[in-house]
Amino acid sequence: MSIPFSDTSGNLGGVQQVRSLMRVDATQYPTWKIVNSFNNYLDTVAGFMIGADKRFQWDDTNHSKLPEGTTDFVINQSDYSFLTDEQGNSIITLTGLSRLVSTGVYEPLKLVDKNEPDYDAKTFGVNTGTPTQYDKIADNIVRLDFKALATITGGLKFFFQRTPSYFVATDTTKSPGVSPLLHRGFVIAAAYDGALTLGLKNLQPLSVEMQKEEAKMIKYFNGRNMDEKRRMVPAYEDNH
């Protein structure tokens, strides 16, 4: 069941459930502390989501824009940084880069690495021309194999994974932007943080519940993409 952050009408919100588990009121444990716990757990879940399966491009469902954007292809420039999206969310990792080939049409660039045998570090990104490759030279910084002959507005399109949509104390109907199957984990994590902070007697039972939620989360990740056919790829050892 989807859990809204706060619902005072039926006490079904995350805030209300957390305080119920802790047996405290708003004075003893204010909302901002629950916000911090929810956001910390959201980072934890997002980390699992992004790292679990590279074929599954997770994105927080609360984001109102797709995880893609465009930037200008600038004359005589080979290095580009991608730190935030257009809404100010931090970009965690780039998942793809394309160049504009005609109006509204982008062609994917090939990701290469300087450790590959045919990579020429002396010429990569030095000359002008039409780029076909890019190299990730640092966190969210890439180098194209060729500099632009002229500046092209929106000439590069980038795809990425970003930080989640975080909670604030005034949120009400907003739910975590992950599967509802994982929502209870936010409540348990926040209640555990509160019990740890206040030294409550139910810290140990909440610790057990946290372990259950983590196990459920791992099981959920392992069962995703059931519409994809799994295949075993034999490993060959070269003895020559």
pLDDT in tens, 17-40: 999 999 999 999 999 999 999 999
Domain match, 95 and 178 both: no
Assess whether 157 and 72 both reside in one domain: yes
Average pLDDT on 211-226 reads: 80
Same domain, 86 and 154: yes
Closest Cα to residue 191, out of 48, 15, 22?
22
For the stretch 137-150, pLDDT in tens is 987 899 999 999 99
3 within domain boundaries: no
Q: Are residues 187 and 153 in the same domain?
A: no
Q: Where in the sequence is the domain holding 124, given as residue range(s)?
A: 68-162
Q: What's this model's pTM, rounded to 2 decimal places?
A: 0.84
Looking at the structure, tell me whether residues 113 and 156 fall in a common domain: yes
Same-domain status, 130 and 76: yes
Mean per-residue pLDDT, 115-132: 92
What pLDDT was estimated at residue 232?
43
| Same domain, yes or no: 120 and 153 | yes
Is residue 230 assigned to a domain?
Answer: no
Q: Tell me, yes or no, whether 149 and 173 share the same domain.
A: no
Sign, Cα dihedral of 109, 111, 116, 119: positive
Residue 224: pLDDT above 70? no
Residue 237 domain flag: no
Q: Do 170 and 54 fall into the same domain? A: yes
